[in-house]
Amino acid sequence: MQEDIEMEKFQITILGCGSATPSPKHYTSSQIVNIREKLFMIDCGEGTQIQLRRSKVAFARINHIFISHLHGDHCFGLLGMVSSFGLMGRTAPLFIHAPKEMEPLLAQELEFYCNRLEYQITFQGFDPFAKEIIYEDRSLTVETIPLKHGIPCAGFLFREKPLADHLDREMADFYKVPQWDYNRIKDGGDFVTEDGTVIPHSRLTKPAGPTRSYAYCCDTAYNPKMFDQIKGVSAIYHDSTYMETELVQAQKYLHSTAAQAAKTAAEVNAGKLILGHFSARYLNEQPILAEAKETFSNSILAKEGMEIDI
């Protein structure tokens, strides 16, 4: 019963973490969130399908794509990827969650360039100015986080639902709980032995660990309005396009500095800060990391191919 002991998977794979245009160093924005082997893609800049093929990601299992906003470096890879999925024989439906303004043009593009797909694409538009749950399953919700950017732009908050308690295997064996009854007990049930004794739920289980969460806040100016929503998040990926020396640029283009990303992580009491969306002007990104660490020590630099466990 491995799953009762180990934490289940909650992992981010970075496919691209550069800003604006692909550079010799970085691809534009895209990443994969793997939660218990369900795969979600966030953003899909040009070249995402190339990065996917290079990664170990089992891309046939991506069923949901979340697009944060309609700047090309976050969505110009979508048509090519969708088209390649078709050529590679995909049949599973694909859901694209994106700002609702995208729908009419995307529908035309799909009709023009991808009209022979043998799988269904369902567009689910959202309002980037609203905080709303746009995806939910048995174990997870995804909420939009309104960000502060040049065009309507959302972040995404992936949050595990509270887990069932873990079964205490030794106690279950001791009381001869049959395997088929495990889930009922993990979900809160008591157990009645053959002689009628009631063994309470609490005796047969150990409390589950805390739930985990991940906030993707990729293109945003410093944005205190989102703090309440992401309070206590396990990890945050935050815009750190610039350093403080380029604060004027950051303000002009509604991006953040590494110091602002770190201040955000500290304010919301995040477990970890992942810095990304780097401007191509920085050939060496260590100073970006150093700037963030002054305020928030558990900071790391995103990098193409990196896998981060939440």
Least distance (Å) between residue 160 CB and its own copies = 34
Inter-residue contact 95 to 124 (CB < 8 Å):
yes
Alpha-carbon span 270 to 268, nearest angstrom: 6
4 is catalytic: no
Least distance (Å) between residue 208 CB and its own copies = 41
C-beta closer to its own copies: residue 99 or 155 = 99
Least distance (Å) between residue 50 CB and its own copies = 5
C-beta closer to its own copies: residue 78 or 167 = 78
Residue 103: both structure tokens together: 């729908």
C-beta closer to its own copies: residue 27 or 182 = 27
* Residues lying near its own copies in the complex (CB under 8 A): 20-24, 27, 46-47, 49-50, 53-54, 70, 72, 76-77, 79-80, 83-84, 87-88, 105, 108-109, 112-114
Count other Cβ atoms within 10 Å, centred on residue 174. Answer: 12
C-beta closer to its own copies: residue 47 or 276 = 47
Helix axes 258-267, 286-295, angle to 10 degrees: 30
Alpha-carbon span 156 to 147, nearest angstrom: 10
Catalytic residue of the set 43, 73, 165, 219? 73
C-beta closer to its own copies: residue 18 or 230 = 18
Tell me the catalytic residues.
Answer: 73
